[in-house]
Amino acid sequence: MAGLASARIILLIQQEYAVRLCWLICLAMLALGGCAYEVEFESAYVSEEVPSYLAEAEIVVLMHDHDVELVYEGGPDSRVGETTTITMPIGDIMREISARVFQSCFMYGVVFTEALVPDMQYIVAIEPEIRDFSYQYDRRVEPGVIEIRPTRDGESVEEIPVSTITPQVEFELALTAYDSTGAVVLEKSYPSGLVSGESYVVTYRPHERINETFHAALQDIMLNVAEDIRPLLVGQCEITNLEARAP
């Protein structure tokens, strides 16, 4: 039993060093030439949360070509990951998340259009626009958590503080809502604030952590948009109350 336990400990140590070695290789690659990552819409990053009502109507989402084709490309606002860049199709992600959120609260679905024309029959139309997107990797040293590793000469050990990385995004959603005549009935800005995703120690896909955090932040804002346009539907169509969203 003692031999088996020792073998298991050795295996765990080997696995840990293998992970650390891969991480150091990745860091070395970043330091030498950097990495350019590309992300896309991922349905797995969208939660099952829905607005608090179901309207017997459809909603029109006005998105011009430049909105749909909007792509962000750039590096983080942090020292961590400063040699990397992300290419993110923000417009496509907004379209997909808008569809999923509003399909869940408008019985007759979502209609995307590039322009509001007189023969369109709708109760409310919205025009969303994402502005000032940025992201960063926040590194924090975990108090009281250390990694013990051998020194280079192998004659002693050293204590290395363990740090975690938290992906963070920030942006603003500008929204204009129109009634059936094309008149503006709501103008509002939704600043996301600095939104933090799930922290990690080691990952081979830091760009996807940013992507997932952006999906979650945008979905949360779109759910708020759905609640804000609900008063515009009162008296215009049947509305069924669902379970209210948590504040």
128 and 144, same domain (yes or no): yes
Banded pLDDT at 204 (limits 50, 70, 90): confident
pLDDT in tens, 82-114: 889 999 999 999 999 999 999 999 999 999 999
105 and 211, same domain (yes or no): yes
pLDDT in tens, 41-55: 999 999 999 999 999
Q: Is residue 133 part of a domain?
A: yes
Q: Is residue 246 part of a domain?
A: no
106 and 226, same domain (yes or no): yes
Q: Is residue 247 part of a domain?
A: no
44 and 113, same domain (yes or no): yes
Residue numbers of the domain that contains 21? 1-33
29 and 45, same domain (yes or no): no
Average pLDDT, the chain: 84
Q: How many domains does the chain have?
A: 2
Banded pLDDT at 81 (limits 50, 70, 90): confident
Report how far residue 169's alpha carbon sits from residue 180's, in angstroms, rounded to the nearest whole number.
35
113 and 193, same domain (yes or no): yes
Q: What is the pLDDT of residue 14?
A: 40
74 and 90, same domain (yes or no): yes
Banded pLDDT at 5 (limits 50, 70, 90): very low
Long-range contacts of 179-182 (CB under 8 A, 24+ apart): 179/123, 179/124, 179/232, 180/121, 180/122, 180/123, 180/124, 182/116
8 and 59, same domain (yes or no): no
The H-or-E segment that residue 111 falls in is strand 110-113
Banded pLDDT at 7 (limits 50, 70, 90): very low
50 and 29, same domain (yes or no): no
C-beta of residue 128 within 8 angstroms of C-beta of residue 177: no
Rounded mean pLDDT, 193-206: 89
